[in-house]
Amino acid sequence: MCAIVGVINSEGAAKTAYYGLFAMQHRGQEASGISSSFNHHIKTIKATGLVTEVFSPASFEILKGNIAIGHNRYGTAGADSLKDAQPVAGNYALGEISIVHNGNLINKDEIRRKLVSEGAIFQSGMDTENILHLIARSKQEHLKDRIVEALNQCVGAYSLLILSRSKMFAVRDRYGVRPLSIGRLKDGGYIVASETCAFDLVEAEFVRDVKPGEMVIFEEGKDEFSSLEILKAAEARICAFEYIYFARPDSVVEGKNVYEVRKKLGAALARKCKELKADFVVPVPDSGVPAALGFAQESKLPFEMAIVRNHYIGRTFIEPTQEVRNLKVKLKLNPIGAALHGKSVVVVDDSIVRGTTSKKIVELLRHAGAAHVHMCIASPELKYPERYGIDTPSVRELIAANMSTDEICKFIGADSLTFLSVPELVEALGGERKYSLVSFDGDYFIKD
Ligand code: 5GP
Ligand code: MG
C-alpha cells in the first residue's frame, strides 16, 4: 500500500504535498519523495524513512514551483527501498516527467521482459518504471495519448499521478481498486490524494473522486480541469481492506466515512457474538478501536481501553523476521493489569494476518490476570494474498489459509474466536455496490 498526492496551481506546491504525505504516513513508512516542476525543470527529492525524516526546510528551497507530486512507500521485506522509492522521474522525447503510483501491475514481469528484450535498461524493481518506459516508447504526439497507450498495455490495480513540466494527470484503473480524490485548495489550486484526510490538513475542500477508468488533466494556470474516459469501463470495486484497515478513520473513501464503516463492522460482530458473556470490550489499538466501539455500543457492554499502545513505534507487520515481529508487539502494546484482573473480556481487532498480534495479545492479557479472552475480528479470514496493491504475505504465512478457525483459536490461546463472514462484511460495508474482496474470497477479478 502507498500514498500518493499531487498539487497544482498553488504556491509552494511541494510544501502542500509534504503536508498531504504527512497526513497519509499510515499508508507507507518505508520511503517518501516529492517531485516539483519549476522553470520547465522537474526536481525530485526522495529517500528512505518517514516523511519528517526525508524532508527538511532546505528541501523546499529545491522543490520550488506551483506543481508537485509525492509518494509514501509501503514496502515489503527485502526490497531495495531506496531504489524503489518514488516518484520515478525521467527524461524522454517530450521532456521531463515524473510518476507516482499506488497499486500493483499484475503483468509487470511480462511487460518488463519484453522491454528488456528490446533493449530497455531499468533502474529499479518497480512496476511504476514500466509505465515510464511505455510512455517514453510510445510514438503518440501528445503525452495524454502516450499515457493512454501505455496504460492500455498494463493490467492491474493503480491510482497514478503523472507530472510533466506544466500538467498533472490523475488516473485510476478501470475497477477503481485504489482510492483517489480531488480537492480544491483555498488559493484556487487543486490537490489530488489517496485519502481525504490529506485535504483536511491543508484546508482543501473535497470536490469528487477520480472515477474508475478516468484520466483527469490539470494544467498550469488553468482554473478548470478536464476529464477523459480512457479505459474500458468495468464494475467499480474499491478494495474492502481500505475500510477494514488501511485508510485513516477520518477519511471518506468513495462516499463512506471509514470510522462509521468500522463501527458498523464492530456492530455486526456484536450481533454475531450475542451469546458471549463478558465484563467489557477492549480494542487492540489503534486499528481495532472504531470496531470495538461499534461492538460495545451494539452489545451494550462497557468499553475499556485496557491495552495501551506505545505510539513511538511503526506498524509491526512491516518487520521482516518473526522474532522482531514478536518483540515489536510487546514493545507496542501493554495491557493494564488493574483493569483486567479476573475479568472476562471481548478483544476486538480489525484483522488477523499471520496471527502474531492476536497470539501475543492473548498471552499478555492472561499474564495480566484476565479470566477469559474472547477474540473478535472485524473482518473475515484472510486466506488469499492480495495482489492489487497490498503486500499481504504468501499463502504459507497467512494463518487462516492454513488453519481452521478452531485451530487458530487454539494457536492464539483464546477462549473463543469469531470472524465476520464475507456476506456480513459486505452488508456492513453497504451491499449496494461491489468491492475488491480478493483476500477473503480469492476472486482475482482483474484479468485484462
Ligand atoms: P498479524 O499479527 O496477525 O500478522 O497481523 C494482524 C495485525 O496487523 C492487526 O492488528 C492489523 O491491524 C494489522 N494489519 C492487518 N493488515 C495489515 C497490513 O496489510 N499491513 C500492516 N502494516 N498491518 C496490517
Ligand atoms: Mg492493528
Q: Is the dihedral of CA 386, 401, 428, 247 positive or negative?
A: negative
Would you state the pLDDT for residue 94? Answer: 93
- Pocket lining: 245 vs ligand 1, CB cutoff 6 Å: yes
End-to-end Cα, the chain, rounded Å? 22
Ligand 1 atom nearest residue 352's Cα? 3
- Pocket lining: 285 vs ligand 1, CB cutoff 6 Å: no
Would you state the pLDDT for residue 66? Answer: 98
Gap from CA of 114 to ligand 1 centroid (Å): 36
Report the residue among 258, 351, 382, 440 best suited for mutation to probe ligand 1: largest number of ligand atoms under 8 A from its CB.
Answer: 351
Grid cell in block for residue 194: 489517496
Would you state the pLDDT for residue 321? Answer: 65
Alpha carbon of 209 to those of 183, 203, 240, 410, 427: distances in Å? 9, 17, 17, 44, 23
As annotated, the active-site residues are 2
- Pocket lining: 444 vs ligand 1, CB cutoff 6 Å: no
SS3 278: coil
Ligand 1 atom nearest residue 315's Cα? 22
- Pocket lining: 349 vs ligand 1, CB cutoff 6 Å: yes
Grid cell in block for residue 431: 451491499
- Pocket lining: 287 vs ligand 1, CB cutoff 6 Å: yes
Gap from CA of 289 to ligand 2 centroid (Å): 9
- Rg (Cα) of the chain, in Å, rounded? 22
Ligand 1 atom nearest residue 287's Cα? 12
Q: Which ranges of 126-179 does DSSP label H, i.e. alpha helix?
A: 127-137, 143-151
What are phi and psi for residue 3, nearest 5 degrees? -115, 140
Report the residue among 353, 361, 391, 397 best suited for mutation to probe ligand 1: largest number of ligand atoms under 8 A from its CB.
Answer: 353
Question: Minimal CA–CA distance to 18: which of 31, 33, 28, 8?
Answer: 33
SS3 263: helix
- In DSSP notation, 351-396 reads --SSSHHHHHHHHHHHHTT-SEEEEEESS----S---SS-----TT
Gap from CA of 408 to ligand 1 centroid (Å): 16
- In tens digits, the chain (448 residues) has pLDDT values of 899 999 999 999 999 999 999 999 999 999 999 999 999 999 999 999 999 999 999 999 999 999 999 999 987 544 677 888 999 999 999 999 999 999 999 999 999 999 999 999 998 888 999 999 999 999 999 999 999 999 999 999 999 999 999 999 999 999 999 999 999 999 999 999 999 999 999 999 999 999 999 999 999 999 999 999 999 879 999 999 999 999 999 999 999 999 999 999 999 999 999 999 999 999 999 999 999 999 999 999 999 999 999 988 755 455 556 666 667 777 889 999 999 999 999 999 999 999 999 999 999 999 999 999 999 999 999 999 999 988 778 999 999 999 999 999 999 999 999 999 999 999 999 999 999 999 999 999 998 8
Question: Looking at ligand 1, which residue's alpha carbon is closest to its atom 11?
Answer: 351
**Residue for grid cell 488559493:** 187
- Pocket lining: 355 vs ligand 1, CB cutoff 6 Å: yes
- Pocket lining: 354 vs ligand 1, CB cutoff 6 Å: yes
SS3 205: strand
Gap from CA of 266 to ligand 2 centroid (Å): 14
Q: List the shell of residues around ion ligand 2, using CB closer than 5 Å.
A: 287
Find out whether 379 and 433 touch, Cβ atoms under 8 Å.
Answer: no
**Residue for grid cell 451494539:** 298
Gap from CA of 329 to ligand 2 centroid (Å): 10
- Pocket lining: 386 vs ligand 1, CB cutoff 6 Å: no
Gap from CA of 259 to ligand 2 centroid (Å): 15
Gap from CA of 356 to ligand 2 centroid (Å): 11
CB under 8 A, 24+ apart: contacts of 14-18: 14/59, 14/60, 14/63, 14/64, 14/65, 14/68, 14/70, 15/60, 16/68, 16/185, 16/189, 16/191, 16/202, 17/68, 17/69, 17/70, 18/51, 18/55, 18/59, 18/60, 18/70
**Euclidean distance between CA atoms 291 and 283, whole angstroms:** 8
Report the residue among 26, 72, 239, 245 best suited for mutation to probe ligand 1: largest number of ligand atoms under 8 A from its CB.
Answer: 245
Grid cell in block for residue 343: 475479568
- Pocket lining: 350 vs ligand 1, CB cutoff 6 Å: yes
Would you state the pLDDT for residue 331? Answer: 83
Residues 6+ apart with CB under 8 A from 378: 244, 262, 265, 266, 268, 269, 288, 291, 294, 295, 348, 349, 350, 351, 420
**Euclidean distance between CA atoms 339 and 358, whole angstroms:** 19
Ligand 1 atom nearest residue 354's Cα? 4
Find out whether 63 and 45 touch, Cβ atoms under 8 Å.
Answer: yes
